[in-house]
Amino acid sequence: SQQGEEDPQALSIQEGENATMNCSYKTSINNLQWYRQNSGRGLVHLILIRSNEREKHSGRLRVTLDTSKKSSSLLITASRAVDTASYFCATDSDMDSNYQLIWGAGTKLIIKP
């Protein structure tokens, strides 16, 4: 079953603009991860944020986590054509087995040149 829900489902922006994607989840968690998937490829891990963290940065990526609202956001700054991909959040519930990740349906991001 899917716990995470990303929104928007699809996002199309001009190169150079910032892209923001959101993820909401239902149960309390230990960790939340973001992954990128290019068309026809596997998923690539981007960033992991723990439940006791509020913000994390990696290059042009910024992730925030609000456990009170059970939501996270992924911000990509100064977008480039190579950022065109689908982005997924995945959570591990602190009530279930700790290896199980629950995935959202993803946000499809298109960067227009």
Which chain residues interact with other proteins by CB under 8 A?
Answer: 2, 4, 29-31, 33, 35, 40-45, 48, 50, 88, 90-92, 97-101, 103-106, 108
Residue number with CB closer to other proteins (5 or 15): 5
Residue number with CB closer to other proteins (15 or 26): 26
Half-sphere exposure of 55 (CA within 13 A, CB side): 4
Residue number with CB closer to other proteins (12 or 100): 100
Q: Nearest 5°: phi and psi at 36?
A: -115, 145
* Closest distance of CB 28 from other proteins, Å: 12
* Closest distance of CB 105 from other proteins, Å: 5
Residues 111/80, Cβ–Cβ less than 8 Å? yes
What is the layout of strands, in order, in the sheet containing 5-7? 5-7, 19-24, 71-76, 61-66, 55-58
